[in-house]
Amino acid sequence: MALRVPHPNLRSLVLLSLLAVASAKVFFEERFDDGWESRWVKSDWKRDESLAGEWNYTSGQWNGDANDKGIQTSEDYRFYAISAEYPEFSNKDKTLVFQFSVKHEQKLDCGGGYMKLLSGDVDQKKFGGDTPYSIMFGPDICGYSTKKVHAILTYNDTNHLIKKDVPCETDQLTHVYTFILRPDATYSILIDNVEKQTGSLYKDWDILPPKKIKDPEAKKPEDWDDNEYIPDPEDKKPEGYDDIPKEIVDPEAKKPEDWDDEEDGEWTAPTIPNPEYKGPWTPKKIKNDNYKGKWKAPLIDNPDFKDDPDLYVFPKLKYVGIELWQVKSGTLFDNVLITDDPEYAKQLAEETWGKQKDAEKAAFEEAEKKREQEETKDDPVDSDAEDEEDADDSDSDSKTEAGEDGEAKEEDAHDEL
């Protein structure tokens, strides 16, 4: 299997790491160097409705290496669909690693950043939202409620979502997402080479019915004591407890001066709640020595469970694709990798994202600083005041004056309101 490692300043590093992981099998690797367009097919999906978004081949507004480009969504309110083919393979008896980097430069508030692996034969020109896929993986953000990493596995034509919550990154920097699926039906999800979730395909997806279920025949034994606390048999009601009245005559109340017994009837003082009254007596509670814990039905083998030792197998993986709807564009994908070697994937992430992340962060902070300065420069309050001034006094249009007199002008504006 030939590896594509055309990036000149990475070549030596990659060769070094190849020695370390010489056994790695790489099914697909795309760093988006020159010529990427011959490997990827842009779908015509949504094109006749003019809703197919264009990709921008760029390293983005901030980056750690301006020559390291990826593909970025560039139009708002658009559908995006693009895919690449690789020689068909099965991950049976192999670890499957699916990895890519994604950067949301647009401060994404609603949109996906995930990718898909597709199987069998796909008409890439028609690839779209309805095209069946085998695996969908990656971040998805929408509002405050959805900020998660999707990991959807398709089994017998049904999509199964992961049941565990895996939060995704929400900043405007590059992050590497890695999905590892192993022949022992375990998986791991990594972000920036750090494991965020791991477990079993049997437990963390409802692909197959559960192996064990609660015995529906089992009943709680008659003598099962599941009271954690019982009334203290030693505790006795204090003498005279029941004689304490609930209400007492208000000691502060006085018969009004102008009360006329003839007219108003006999005066009785109002009552108030008695602070001494504590309600009906109950003995205090103590721990029950016979407490056996909450009763649980024993687990039995689920008669509906039929194991599939090939639960993790996707026998005809052949395409990788991006299929998204974006309200706000600016999501940049890079370094797409499909391999059988987690160590190779880890090194690729280190050599790309790892090497560039500090410079990218610095560039981002610089860009943010510039943006904030621009914003203060054309602050809407100041420009309103300037308009006001222009209307009142047409011969003063010097910039310094606008700055110095800003406050006074604002006051003028308020007075007029």
Ligand X SMILES: *[C@@H]1O[C@H](CO)[C@@H](O)[C@H](O)[C@H]1NC(C)=O
* Shortest CB 417 distance to ligand X, Å: 41
Cα separation, 213 vs 216, whole angstroms:
8
Say how many Å lie between the first and final Cα of the chain, rounded.
75
* Shortest CB 156 distance to ligand X, Å: 4
> What's the token pair of residue 53?
């978004």
Q: Rank residues 133 and 205 by Cβ distance to ligand X and give the closer one.
A: 205
* Shortest CB 54 distance to ligand X, Å: 7
3-state secondary structure string across 177-188 = EEEEECCCCEEE
Strand 40-42 versus strand 299-301 pairing type: unpaired
Tokens 């008669």 belong to residue: 303
Strand 174-181 versus strand 96-104 pairing type: antiparallel
3-state secondary structure string across 232-257 = CCCCCCCCCHHHCCCEEECCCCCCCC
* Shortest CB 34 distance to ligand X, Å: 16
Cα separation, 126 vs 83, whole angstroms:
10
Q: Rank residues 156 and 394 by Cβ distance to ligand X and give the closer one.
A: 156
Q: Rank residues 139 and 330 by Cβ distance to ligand X and give the closer one.
A: 330
Number of residues engaging ligand X in binding (CB under 6 A):
7
* Shortest CB 235 distance to ligand X, Å: 58
Q: Rank residues 63 and 347 by Cβ distance to ligand X and give the closer one.
A: 63
Q: Tell me: is residue 133 an annotated ligand-binding position.
A: yes
Cα separation, 107 vs 192, whole angstroms:
19
Yes or no: say if 66 and 315 are a contact pair by the CB < 8 Å rule.
no
Q: Rank residues 66 and 110 by Cβ distance to ligand X and give the closer one.
A: 66
Q: Rank residues 50 and 156 by Cβ distance to ligand X and give the closer one.
A: 156
Among the listed residues 4, 36, 46, 61, the single contact to ligand X using CB under 6 A: 61
Cα separation, 120 vs 133, whole angstroms:
9
Helices in 240-354 by DSSP H: which ranges? Answer: 261-264, 342-349
Among the listed residues 38, 145, 156, 268, the single contact to ligand X using CB under 6 A: 156
> What's the token pair of residue 56?
């921008």
Q: What is the dihedral of CA 400, 405, 407, 412, to 10 degrees?
A: -130
* Shortest CB 209 distance to ligand X, Å: 7
List binders of ligand X among 20-59 (CB under 6 A): 56, 58
* Shortest CB 342 distance to ligand X, Å: 28
* Shortest CB 102 distance to ligand X, Å: 15
DSSP one-letter code for 172: S
* Shortest CB 59 distance to ligand X, Å: 7
* 74 lines the binding site for ligand X (CB under 6 A): yes
Q: Tell me: is residue 344 an annotated ligand-binding position.
A: no
* 145 lines the binding site for ligand X (CB under 6 A): no
> What's the token pair of residue 347?
């090194």
Cα separation, 399 vs 241, whole angstroms:
85
Q: Rank residues 58 and 197 by Cβ distance to ligand X and give the closer one.
A: 58
> What's the token pair of residue 259?
């009360």
Cα separation, 73 vs 324, whole angstroms:
9
C-alpha pair distances (Å), 133 with each of 99, 123, 129, 156, 389: 16, 13, 10, 11, 62
* 302 lines the binding site for ligand X (CB under 6 A): no
Among the listed residues 30, 45, 60, 334, the single contact to ligand X using CB under 6 A: 60
**Closest listed residue to residue 247, CA positions, set 224, 225, 277:** 277
Among the listed residues 13, 152, 208, 359, the single contact to ligand X using CB under 6 A: 208
Q: Rank residues 74 and 352 by Cβ distance to ligand X and give the closer one.
A: 74
Helix, strand, coil shares of the chain as percentages rounded to 5?
25, 30, 45
Q: Rank residues 31 and 346 by Cβ distance to ligand X and give the closer one.
A: 31
Q: Tell me: is residue 323 an annotated ligand-binding position.
A: yes
Residues of the binding site for an alpha-D-glucoside: 114, 116, 133, 140, 323
Binding site for ligand X (CB under 6 A): 56, 58, 60-61, 74, 156, 208
Residues of the binding site: 114, 116, 133, 140, 323
